[in-house]
Amino acid sequence: QVQLVESGGGLVQPGGSLRVSCAASGSIARLNTMSWYRQAPGKQRELVASITTGGNTKYADSMAGRFTISRDNAKNTVYLQMNSLEPGDTAVYYCHARIRETTGWREYDYWGQGTQVTVSS
């Protein structure tokens, strides 16, 4: 049993910064690649960034240079630092992780429930 919980969303002005967090808890043997996705109203969910256990990162083109994904393996937590926020960044941000549980060798995909990020004047 594993749960992902996002936090840190909120309302910010254009050009501002925000840091969202996602903490995994439960029977975790290995926390594999973790990712942030986002979904704006009326749009498809899109990948924002991902980070492997080794720290390799990938970003969507529109977020590269403004967003930074990081992780703290000791805390089973992934972060997304968002700078120079634009109104177009307004969306629900979801955490995703592929996790090997302590009960065996099977790996499962988990999603958080999302945290709202609103960029507006």
Mean pLDDT for the stretch of residues 15-30: 96
What is the per-residue pLDDT across 38-91, written as a single tens digit (0 to 9) for each?
Answer: 999 999 999 999 999 999 999 999 888 999 999 999 999 999 999 999 999 999
Distance separating alpha carbons of residues 56 and 35, to the nearest angstrom: 11
Q: What pLDDT does 119 receive?
A: 98
User: Which burial class, exposed, middle or buried, applies to 1 when counting CB atoms under 10 A from its CB (0-12, 13-18, 19+)?
Assistant: exposed
With cut-offs at 50, 70 and 90, classify the pLDDT of residue 1: confident
Residues 80, 72 contacting (CB under 8 angstroms): no
Within 1-121, strands assigned E span 2-7, 10-12, 18-26, 28-39, 46-51, 57-59, 67-72, 77-82, 91-101, 107-111, 115-119
